[in-house]
Structure formats: structure tokens, C-alpha cells
Structure 1
Amino acid sequence: MRLIQGGPAGDMRLAVLDIGSNTAHLVVVDGNGKGTFTEVGRKKEILRLADAAFATMSLPDDTADRLVSTIKRMRAFADQQGADQLLAFATSAIREATNGLDVLARVRDEAGVPVRVLPGFEEARLTYLAARTWTMFSARRLLVLDIGGGSLEVAAGDEERPQITESLPLGATRLTRRFITSDPPDPDELAALRVHVLSLLGPLAERVRASEWDVVCATSKTFRTLGKVAEALDDIPSPSASLGFAGIDGRTAPVLDGEAVNLLAGRLATTTEKQRGRIKGFNRLRAANVVAGSQVAALAMQAFGLKRLVLAPWALREGLILEELRAHAGTPPSAADHRRRGAVIDFTRRYAWDEAHCRHVAGLALSLFDQTTHLHGLDAGDRELLDYAALLHDVGWSVAQSGRHKHSLYIIRNAEIAGFSRHELLVMGNVARYHRRGLPAEHHSDYTLLDERDRRRVRRLGALLRVADGLDQDHFQVVEAVSVHERNGGIDLRLEARDEPRLSLWASERNADLFEAEFGLPLHPVAASVA
């Protein structure tokens, strides 16, 4: 079995391990080569990483020991199921622990499993992908809420890629540890919790309320638990099956009414943990954290103006599975991709932008990408991001010529461009940043925000953009085409030019430093012909 932090998967059996704040959950699926899957196995174990992570911001040795042992068992289960690949990822508890990376190094060394740490906005984006796919893309405008142990993810949009991807530190376990010390909860504790939740929801609520949503999906165990409790209590409106939503996997998800969520939040706040544990639908862990979780659910629905929620069964794990399978299947770009390129060009026109230069550099960069696939091993989605980064790479000129590559990074990563997630903008910004001057380094703060997989993407895409920009150093589009030829342990880059390309030869050779460092091959630009 091959162990990956994120790589291609398709006609194979894929195991995905979700290391959450409270549980480790493994799902094994068969990919069919068309970007969809069938589940064949599942295993879950209680971890309770959040007990330590959110209290001390560190994972003690006994917790790390338990994590290593759990992942060893998960790997053994994946082997028993015949998995070809194992993809492991971690969320907020490990992400925020000061020793989280050290613990994951132990996991890698002792359990033999590398673990990818997902940023919060990636959690939101992948959860949205899962919900949109499960609804079979039938909702023109989709809003997704997910309350985990450490965070609340909110994602929304009208296409496959969300326009809103937010992760707020409003997880049920986190808030329980911070605010609730009494059993039953003290009214003052609950009041402080509500004030805190509303203070974080407020800025996002304006953006969410600005649109009407065709479907609102709740994807987390917190919401599904509230649905089960509503069914168990006679005086709480039960989730409606008649209004349910039929998904791609044949299951019909019930709809939970906002009134029921409000009533449950009030009722649960007056009960002890022992009393909650006797209600059908609760296990011990959920009984401990559901008061805070129900408060977040009720307040989010109120703040966002939501009347009902579809209790969708697919969430983060399924989103990650879908992305891996689709990357391997080579799913072709949709109409959304063409609209995204238009959105990028519209955005660049707000700035002092040499459109002819940037379009030409984008074309040269894509040509280099297509001719070096055996070197970089990247996919169609990466090619798309290279195109956009090339179009955007010089927007920093509008701030100043000096340090313009850094200004471009700042503008891109903080931009609001329709159809792009915060994560995509961060990757594109880093690619644009490295089109000139310094190479990627550990002390570059925006580069270190990325995990190792994304850093590799940035280095390789940045290497291609850097050479392409050198090919049009004078902004006169003298070099019309390039061809890549491997020879004598290096690469000849032959320039087809309409005039003597002296500056292009010099600049592209100067800009080959990142290419040579990343691919381990010297690059030799040569003039093929002069018109």
C-alpha cells in the first residue's frame, strides 16, 4: 500500500483517514475512474485530542502515544481492506497545537503514515465540494455549515468552487472547554458563550445574508445529533422526511427546522450531562459537548437568517475523496473554469497591468508546463492555477516597481475574485511572488502557510512562470514560441523569435535558478531562428 499526503487516485481502493478533534475516522472506497466512488469499509476510534489541545495548546505524551497507536490500527485496517493508497489528514486540534508538527513526525516515523494538516479554509472548501456533489449540483446557490470539535466551517457559492470559505474557532468541544464549567450550565456561562459566538458570526453574517440560498446543507455530526434528539422528544418538531433531499448516493436526507434547533438549544442548556446521556441519540462524548454545539447551531441559523437545513450525509472526508479521485480521472474543465479566467482578467484590469505581456507570459508558461509534465508531475488543476497566476503576476506594479512581486502576492492573496477559494488565491499569490528575485524559503511567512504538498506545487509552478517571464523581459513579445529538448543531462530551451532575442536569452537563463534547483537539470536557452 502506498502512503500519501495527497496525490492521484482513481481506479483503485482508496483509504482516507480523518484525524479530528475528538475521533479518528477511516473510510475505504473504490474509485471508478470517473471521479465517483463506492464505500467498502469504515472504522472509527475515539481520540479526544481536543481535551488537551484546546486547554493547553499542546498535546501531551500520553495523547501522542494514543494517536500513534490508533493510526497503527487504522493502517492495519486499511491493509486488511486491500487499500492501494492511504491518505491521512488532520484538522484544528493538531493544526493549533504548538507541538502538532512534532507529534505528526512521530506518527510518520512510528506508524509509517504521513499526515497532511488542512487549513481551515480548505476544510470549508472540501466540505462544500462534498455537499454540492451529493446534491448532484441541483442547487444553483448552496450554503454549507459544519460544526466540528474545534471549528465552524461555512462555505457558499453558486458553482463547484465556493465564493465563501470561512473557518471560525466555534467548535463544540473548544467552546465547552472554554465556557462551560457547571453541570447543568450556569446562565452566566451561556450568556458569555453566546456573546462570543455572535461576535465572530457578525462579520460573516452580512456576507451570507447578502444572497438567497436555494439549499442550505448541514453536514456535521452535531447537526445530525440534533436531528436524532428532535425525533426522540415529543414536543420538538422532528426532521421532515417529506421535505427531504434525495442525494447522489440514493439516501434521502431529512430537513431540520430552525424552530426545532432553537427549542433544542434552550432545552439542552437546562439539563445535566447525565440527563442528556439518557436521551436517545446521544453518546457520552456528544452529551458533553452538545450544549455548546446546539448554541452555535441556533445562533448561526439566526445570524444567517436560515429557516431550515438539509442534514446531508457527505462532509469533509467525502470532499477529500472526490478531489483525489477527480484529479486522477482528469475531469475536464467546466464552464465555470472559463468564467473564472474571465473573473481574473476583470480583476487585473483594476490595476496598472500590461495585458499583452501577462497574456503572453501565461501562454509561454502553459507551453512549458505541457512540455515538462514528466518532470513536474502536476495535473490539470495545477495548470489552471499557473494560467491565473501568470495573468496576475504583475499586478504589484500598481503599488511600486520595487518589490512588485511581493506586492502581487499581497494583492492576490487578499483579493475577492469570484469562483476562487482563499486557498487557491494563497497558492496563486505565492506562485506570482516567485516569478522574480528570491527563491522560496522557510522564512517567507506566506509560503510557510502552505503544507508540503502545496509548497511543492508553488516551487514547480513558480519555476515555470519565472522562466516564462524572462522570455518576455522586454514586454515586446519577441519570443513567439518555445520548445523543450533534453540533451546531455540538461534541457535546451529553443526560442522561436521574430527578432534577435538577446534580452530574452539572458533573462530566461538568469531566471532558470528555481527551475534548476527544483528539477535538478541545467536549463540552456538557445535561439532557434530569427525571422
Structure 2
Amino acid sequence: MTERSAIVGAVDCGTNSIRLLVARPDESGRLIDLHREMRVVRLGEGVDATGRFLDEAIERTRVALADYVEVMISQGVQRVRMVATSATRDAANRDDFFAMTARLLGRVVPGAVAEVITGDEEARLSFRGAVGELDPAAGPFVVTDLGGGSTEVVLGDADGVRAAYSADIGCVRLTERALYSDPPTAEELVAATEFASERLAQAFAAVPVEQARTWVGVAGTMTTLSAIGMGLPEYDSDVIHLSRISLPDLNSVCERLIAMTRADRAELGPMHPGRVDVIGGGSLVTMQLAREFSGRAGITELVVSEHDILDGIALGRLPLLDP
């Protein structure tokens, strides 16, 4: 197998962002990044309320995916997989979205189409990507992938996933459902906390998180919280990857962000503009997770990984390569 034929492309399209990874395997089968990129397109804007994608949200996603396709073609990608998660499972007009993605992805690999994956598969892919570089002795791990529309809670170890659940709660969904003011009022925070607790309770009923020894958080909310907690002047994925933050410090960062105005959040160096209006909702969900993991498993810190579902998608393409 030549190095060029081993190049794979992975696209993860969620409620808030669309991300690309182009990579190849090294001799041990681990991924070597050739290109990694994220854009906030807010595909799930309004879906929770209307049940449909907005035309402008599909167009934002189309523009980003068209650019990703050019990158994949220039890098010589031979295998590609695009997955669409929470918002796409909920939208009545998802056929419009899939027709658009098929036209674009077909330029990379004829016949390639985006796939809607179940919450369970989303959780398993996130786990595979998140724990690949961690010491197995630190397990069992509980991995949380806090996205725009859903939060995956996954328990597993070096042998694989033991239990997983995808809860219908994320930073965009919670913000649109309960956090209207800038900053949120006390009444809004109470309602948002109750809603988040209710949705996450289903995950804790399905996943025995008390077995976990290490909490690993992935995706933009978690990485941004870590960057702010470390006081980084700007977002630096190399510094953020596998960073650790104590739960008291994590809660302090979350409380600070929730109380801020959007204008104040926008001034923070590591803050992506597309997260300014929803990071408060993500912080609130994070605080609920921290309280449960501390109380149920005695966990005292969060390990933040830059590797997540995107890496899991890419790793899953490697066995399909030509010999």
C-alpha cells in the first residue's frame, strides 16, 4: 500500500460546526494529521423549535463543505466518510441537506454520501478517538462529547466501550430552549439547569459512570473551557490537547462565562466567534456533568482531548484501504 493511497478524509457535521480531518496512518496504525480544520456553520439553528433546517444554514454548510472538498482533492484523499449527527437526525427537510452533500462528496470519491449515525455510534466513535493516546491503566474512562444538539456519555476501557448514551442536550439546544437574555437571568438559569439535569439523568441511568476513574472531555466547549482555565492568550490546540483542569477550577471558569455578556466573551483570546453565544449553555451542561462525576465516581479533574469523533471516523476508514 502506497502512502498516497492510505490518505483518508473524515468530515463531522454537527449542530454547531463542521470539521475536516485528512490523515494517513503511520507504521503502527496511528493517524498522522495532514489537515485539520473546524468552521462554525450552525446547521442546527432553529431546528429544535421548527423541526427544519433554515435555507441559510444549509448554504453556510455548503460553502464550508465545498472548501473541504477542494482540500481533500488536493491532498489525494482516496477514502472518505462524512457523518451527520444530532441536528440532521431531527430535521424534516434533511433530504435537501443530503442531496447537497452527495453532489460535493462525489467529487472526492464517486458515490460518497453523508450518513446519519445513531447516537450510539456517535458515542462509540468519540470514545475511540478520545482515548487512543491515554494510558490504559488510567481507565475505565468516561468520555463526554458535548456538542451543539447532543451530549454523548461513554464508559469504556482498553477493551472497548462498555456502555454509551446520547442525551438530547447540547450548547445550542440549551441556549435556544432556555437562555434568552444577555447575560441570562436567574430564572433562565434555573430553568436551563432543570432541563439539562433532566436530559442528562437518562444518560446516568444508562451508563454506570461510577465505574470510571478518568473523565475525558472532547469537542469545542471542553477545549475552550480548558484554554480559558489556563489563561491562554489565544487558542492553541497543541497546548490544550491532553491538558488537565481540576473540577473546582473548571466550575469557576464555567460560572464566569455564564455570568458574562456575549460582548465580554468575545474579548477572550481563545474564544471562537461561533461559540460566543452558546458557550454559556455548554458551561452549564459541563457543570452538571462535573457534579455527577464527582459525586458518583469521585473524579477530581477533567482531561481534555483534541481528538474525538473525527479521529474515530478516520480510524474506521483505515481497514477499508486497498492492500
TM-score bucket (shorter structure): 0.7 to 0.9
**What are structure 2's unaligned runs of at least 5 residues?**
107-111, 233-237
Counterpart of 2:231 in structure 1: which amino acid? A
Counterpart amino acid of residue 269 in structure 2: K
Match of 1:73 in 2: 67
1: CA distance between counterparts of 2:321 and 2:72? Answer: 20
How far residue 292 of structure 1 moved from its aligned partner, in angstroms, is 0.7
Give 5+ residue unaligned stretches, structure 1. Answer: 1-8, 234-248, 331-531
User: What is the match of residue 77 of structure 2?
Assistant: 83
Counterparts of 1:252-331 in structure 2, within 5 Å, are: 253-305=242-294, 306-326=299-319, 328=321
Between structure 1 and structure 2, the one with the greater Rg is 1
Match of 1:94 in 2: 88
Q: State the SS of the aligned residue for 2:278.
A: helix
Distance 1:157 1:110 in 2: 36
Q: CA offset at residue 322 of structure 1?
A: 1.5
Deviation at 1:308, TM superposition (A): 0.9
Aligned equivalents of 1:211, 1:66: Cα separation in 2: 41
On the 8 A contact 1:130/1:315 being kept in 2, the answer is: yes
Change (3 A) 1:136 1:270: closer
Query: Quick one: higher RCO (CA 8 Å, sep 6+), 1 or 2?
Result: 2
1:210 Cα deviation from its structure 2 partner: 5.9
Cα distance change on mapping 1:21 and 1:186 into 2, 3 Å = same
CA distance in 2, matches of 1:66, 1:207: 36
Counterparts of 1:177 and 1:73 in 2: how far apart (Å)? Answer: 29
Match of 2:259, SS state, is: coil
- Aligned partner of 1:198 in structure 2 is 197
> How many residues align structurally?
307
How far 1:255 sits from its partner (Å)? 0.9
Return the letter of the residue paired with 2:265. R
User: How much does 1:86 deviate?
Assistant: 2.3
Does the CA contact (< 8 Å) of 2:45 and 2:57 recur in 1? no
Counterparts of 1:174-189 in structure 2, within 5 Å, are 174-189=173-188
Contact 1:33 1:328 in 2 (8 A): no
Residue type matched to 1:301 in 2?
A
Change in Cα spacing, 1:71 to 1:189, as seen in structure 2 (3 Å) is same
> 2:73 and 2:100 mapped to 1: Cα distance?
20
Question: % of aligned pairs identical?
Answer: 26
Q: Distance in 1 between matches of 2:240 and 2:192?
A: 35
How far apart are the structure 2 equivalents of 1:74 and 1:25?
9
Residue 309 of structure 1 aligns to which amino acid in structure 2? L
Distance verdict in 2 for CA 1:178–1:106, change over 3 Å: same
Alpha-carbon shift at residue 290 of structure 1 (Å) = 0.9
Shift in Å, 1:278: 1.3
Q: 1:20 aligns with which of 5, 14, 18?
A: 14
For 1:198 and 1:43, locate their aligned partners in 2 and report how far apart those are by CA, in whole Å. Answer: 32
**TM-score (ref. length: structure 2):** 0.86
Give the structure 2 partner of residue 422 of structure 1.
none
Cα deviation code 1:174-222 (max 9, x no counterpart): 1111111111101101100101111222243356566332322111211
Q: CA RMSD in A?
A: 2.6
Shift in CA distance, 325/137, structure 1 to aligned 2, threshold 3 Å: farther
1:125–1:155: 8 Å Cα contact kept in structure 2?
Answer: yes
The amino acid across from 1:320 in the alignment is: I
Distance across 1 between alignment mates of 2:209 and 2:186: 33
